[in-house]
Amino acid sequence: MKFGGTSVGSSDSIEKVIEIILNENRNKIVVLSAFSGVTNLLATINQQYESNDSTIQETIIKLEERCLAVIDPLLKTTEYLELAKQFVSIKIDQIKDIIKEPFSLENTKIIIGQGELISSNIIQLYLEEKGINSKLIEALDFMKKDENGEPDSAYISSKINPILKQETKNIYITQGFICKDYDSSFSNLERGGSDYTASLIGAAIKASEIQIWTDIDGMHNNDPRYVENTFSLEEISFDEAAELAYFGAKILHPQSLIPAKNNNIPVLLKNTFDPYKKGTLIKNNTKTSGVSSIAAKDKITAIKIKSYRMLLAYGFLKRVFEVFEVYKTPIDMITTSEVAVSLTIDNNQFIKEIVEDLQKFGAVEVETNLSIICVAGDFSEKKEGLSARVFNALKHIPIRMISYGGSNYNISLLVKTADKINALNSLNTALFKKQLSEIDVD
């Protein structure tokens, strides 16, 4: 069971979390994020540490105040309140000591990871105060990355299972996000954060289910920020969920699903603040009828390379891709013609250098302020007419690029960001008529 930052953002929400945990009768490992707002403060401290900003002490004070704002109303007895305050004080002092040292990336990893250490220890103290039979297990004792920067699944399994066998608890508390690097230095999982931790632990212990608790009712069929009458999906496949997560659905990081998918462990997305809602179950072998969901990804840049030398020339695309490899810039979409290749990126950090290198191959055009619309569903060759419904819904909107056929679970469409909301609403109306009529009846 993983609980995100908003789920543990206040004493009231933590009490809701504990109620949810106790209502789950199975043995469980609870993976915790930092209290909401804490990681942002720690990130600010890292920025100020790097730039030698004198206001860093003010941010550290804000960090301590944020933690105490959760602790003071949560713990009722003097004994446990003092233990909690002492722990926070120790962590604050540790940060103060670190920023006295010369700046290093390793130190920034230690600083950014303190949020999970604080939240997990405070919530364990709360459980002890309530007399609940639980144990805190330290993520740094079993979470580790290999030399390639990827989670070391064999190591994780070999370490966590003996720890669990030593105890007879049915509730274990641990930290999300943090881990050790291959050389045993302090590190973190970066992509997917605490969701990734939960999935890796679930795979390591062969869990019956992985639950991700956030502040929304599972994965929606469209973006509720821009579209009215969206609804949460009861079920979706791992492949569709990964496409949506990559192309804009913020509820999950696509990387975090891989251990669960590979080990055939269902992932249940639930709302901490409305726990009786069904949420969304992500699993293998889910049968999708038509389109399941739509997501959008902003801040996209399209790059077009036109060259008559490309015609019948093998190795041309390899050389183009090598430019992006040099600048460690991932490509989202790609389309080709006889004399041109168009592709998109979502990171413009090295756009000037990339364009200069690409100009060696031909004329380069760059277009910004674009969005990718991801339509996820069953687009296999057996599904006649489904793609036509997607394109008909957008016949009034100029489409810059189309990616279709690379996956059986997704059509990606590039539009101007100014047309994004119109596109999302038009697709919603055209593709979910039946579901929307049921919402209207309700």
Compute the 3-state secondary structure of the chain and give helix, strand, coil in percent, each to the nearest 5: 45, 20, 35
| Interhelix angle 11-23/56-74, nearest 10 degrees | 50
For residues 367 and 344, give the distance between their C-alpha atoms in angstroms, rounded to a whole number: 9
Quick one: which of 167, 178, 170 has its CA closest to 139? 178
Q: Determine contact, residues 221/233, Cβ cutoff 8 Å.
A: yes
User: Is the residue at 10 inside a domain?
Assistant: yes
- Rg of the chain in Å (alpha carbons): 24
Say how many Å lie between the first and final Cα of the chain, rounded. 32
Most distant CA atoms of the chain, gap in Å: 78
Where in 189-266 does DSSP place strands (E)?
Answer: 210-214, 235-237
User: Is the residue at 275 inside a domain?
Assistant: no
Q: Are residues 168 and 304 in the same domain?
A: no
User: Is the residue at 262 inside a domain?
Assistant: no
The secondary structure of residue 141, as a DSSP letter, is G
Q: Are residues 346 and 436 in the same domain?
A: yes
- Each residue's pLDDT expressed in tens, for the chain with a length of 442 residues: 999 999 999 999 999 999 999 999 999 999 999 999 999 999 999 999 999 999 999 999 999 999 999 999 999 999 999 999 999 999 999 999 999 999 999 999 999 999 999 999 999 999 999 999 999 999 999 999 999 999 999 999 999 999 999 878 899 999 999 999 999 999 999 766 899 999 999 999 999 999 999 998 899 999 989 999 899 999 998 988 888 887 766 678 778 889 999 999 999 999 999 999 999 999 987 766 688 999 999 999 999 999 877 655 778 889 999 999 999 999 999 998 888 899 999 999 999 999 999 999 999 999 999 999 999 988 876 667 788 999 999 999 999 999 987 777 889 999 999 999 999 999 999 999 766 565 554 4
User: Is the residue at 220 inside a domain?
Assistant: no
In which domain, by residue range, is 145 found? 2-215
For residues 343 and 126, give the distance between their C-alpha atoms in angstroms, rounded to a whole number: 51
Any idea how long the chain is? 442
Q: Is 336 exposed, middle or buried (0-12, 13-18, 19+ CB in 10 A)?
A: middle
For residues 127 and 74, give the distance between their C-alpha atoms in angstroms, rounded to a whole number: 11
- Sheet containing strand 291-306, edge to edge, reads 334-336, 340-345, 291-306, 363-377, 410-416, 401-404
Domain boundary among 163, 192, 215: 215
Q: Taking the CA of residue 7 as centre, how many other CA atoms within 13 Å lie in the half-sphere pointing to its CB?
A: 28
Domain boundary among 183, 199, 215: 215
Domain boundary among 172, 197, 215: 215
Q: Are residues 170 and 26 in the same domain?
A: yes
User: Is the residue at 227 inside a domain?
Assistant: no
Q: Are residues 65 and 150 in the same domain?
A: yes
| Interhelix angle 433-441/420-431, nearest 10 degrees | 80
Q: Are residues 205 and 332 in the same domain?
A: no
Q: Are residues 414 and 314 in the same domain?
A: yes
Q: Are residues 203 and 303 in the same domain?
A: no
Question: At 203, which CATH number?
Answer: 3.40.1160.10
Read off the tokens for 110: 């230690």
User: Is the residue at 223 inside a domain?
Assistant: no
Domain count, the chain: 2
* pLDDT (0 to 100) of residue 383: 64
User: Is the residue at 26 inside a domain?
Assistant: yes
Q: Are residues 313 and 167 in the same domain?
A: no
Q: Are residues 321 and 435 in the same domain?
A: yes
Read off the tokens for 137: 């297990």
Rounded (5°) CA angle 181-187-191: 105
Quick one: which of 1, 132, 112 has its CA closest to 47? 112
The secondary structure of residue 288, as a DSSP letter, is P
Question: At 372, which CATH number?
Answer: 3.30.2130.10
Q: Are residues 60 and 149 in the same domain?
A: yes
Q: Are residues 203 and 307 in the same domain?
A: no
User: Is the residue at 150 inside a domain?
Assistant: yes
Q: Are residues 157 and 300 in the same domain?
A: no
For residues 296 and 222, give the distance between their C-alpha atoms in angstroms, rounded to a whole number: 9
